[in-house]
């Protein structure tokens, strides 16, 4: 039975679905012995970011993941997956620790965007994201980033600089939300569906543009019903590619990462 062809807007809705698995589900299924770390040692703990260390079979890794809630209460606690500056600083603290102990980094991206509140701006939202971009580009350990749902704007880029960028088939990755794009370009947020088609935000579009490296297939019946298949494919991809990246000379790793981002948009 062939798959139903989904529009870009269909995929936006799937990526935002409340029933879609969250980062914590992937962590529980793919890794073992996960130890969670909290706080940025500066302001507080942002629960939209989960970070810690775990085992990927016999490979110790650092995990940084954006987490949406599964219920209204949890969404409020997790700030609907919209990260504050302290979240990005918490992520960076763990990534720098990963470099110190030579652990590869795996990030899970799922956010409608960085939190745009006044407090976030007062605490240096732009600086926190920019610093993560700069620091991640120079970390001397392998980094693999996986877009599992929404990957929007600087909110996604704040943990999205890696040697490999992977997307689930029905995830979306974009400069901003279709509603925001429509508001700016068309002066009408109700044209979000049209905007989604023109933005080239699907995994297929981004693979064609060489923005991402791999598409993880999702079952026709829905990711919720066949979650084990998806996580097994992600796990196999991570193990295969981390083993290759860990063998690479550190200077060569950085050079290839630099070349990867220099060629985007050329």
pLDDT tens by residue, 72-95: 999 999 989 999 999 999 999 999
Provide the pLDDT confidence category of residue 42 given band limits of 50, 70 and 90. Answer: confident
Three-state secondary structure string covering the chain? CCCCCCCHHHHHHHHHCCCCCCHHHHHHHHCEEEEEECCCCCCCCCCCEEEEEEEECCEEEEEEEECCCCCHHHHHHCHHHCCCHHHHHHHHHHHHHHHHCCCCEEEEEEECCCCCCHHHHHCCHHHHHHHHHHHHHHCCCCEEEEEEEEEEHHHHHCCCCCCEEEEECCCEEECCCHHHHHHHHCCCHHHHHHHHHHHCCEHHHHHHCCCCCEEECCCCCCCCCCHHHHHHHHHHHHHHHHHHHHHCCHHHHHHHHHHHHHHCCC
Question: Does the structure show a pLDDT above 70 at 164?
Answer: yes
With respect to CATH, is domain 21-263 assigned 3.90.226.10? yes
What's the pTM? 0.94
Question: Does the structure show a pLDDT above 50 at 147?
Answer: yes
Query: Range with the lowest mean pLDDT among 44-48, 208-212, 261-265?
Result: 261-265
Return mean pLDDT, the chain: 93
Question: Does the structure show a pLDDT above 80 at 36?
Answer: yes
Provide the pLDDT confidence category of residue 132 given band limits of 50, 70 and 90. Answer: very high
Question: Mean pLDDT over residues 148-160, rounded?
Answer: 94
Provide the pLDDT confidence category of residue 1 given band limits of 50, 70 and 90. Answer: very low
Q: What percent of the chain is predicted at pLDDT more than 90?
A: 85
Question: Does the structure show a pLDDT above 70 at 38?
Answer: yes
């Amino acid at each position: 039975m062939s798959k139903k062809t989904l529009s870009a807007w269909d995929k936006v809705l799937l990526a935002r679905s409340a029933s879609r698995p969250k980062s914590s589900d992937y962590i529980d299924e793919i890794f073992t012995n996960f130890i969670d770390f909290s706080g940025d040692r500066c302001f507080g703990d942002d629960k939209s970011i989960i970070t810690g260390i775990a085992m990927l079979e016999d490979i110790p890794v650092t995990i940084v993941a954006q987490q949406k809630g599964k219920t209204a209460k949890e969404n409020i606690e997790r700030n609907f997956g919209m990260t504050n500056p302290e979240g990005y600083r918490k992520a960076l603290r763990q990534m720098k620790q990963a470099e110190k102990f030579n652990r590869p980094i795996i990030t899970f991206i799922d956010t409608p965007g960085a939190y745009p509140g006044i407090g976030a701006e007062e605490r240096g939202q732009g600086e926190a994201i920019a610093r993560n971009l700069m620091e991640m580009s120079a970390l001397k350990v392998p980094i693999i980033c996986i877009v599992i749902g929404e990957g929007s704007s600087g909110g996604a880029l704040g943990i999205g600089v890696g040697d490999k960028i992977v997307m689930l088939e029905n995830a979306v990755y974009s400069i901003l939300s279709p509603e925001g794009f429509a508001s700016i370009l068309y002066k009408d947020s109700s044209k979000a569906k049209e905007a989604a088609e023109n933005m080239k935000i699907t995994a297929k579009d981004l693979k064609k543009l060489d923005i991402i490296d791999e598409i993880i297939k999702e079952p026709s019946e829905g990711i919720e019903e066949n979650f084990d298949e998806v996580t097994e494919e992600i796990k196999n991809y991570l193990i295969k590619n981390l083993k290759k990246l860990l063998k690479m000379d550190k200077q060569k790793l950085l050079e290839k990462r630099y070349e990867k981002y220099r060629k985007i948009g050329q």
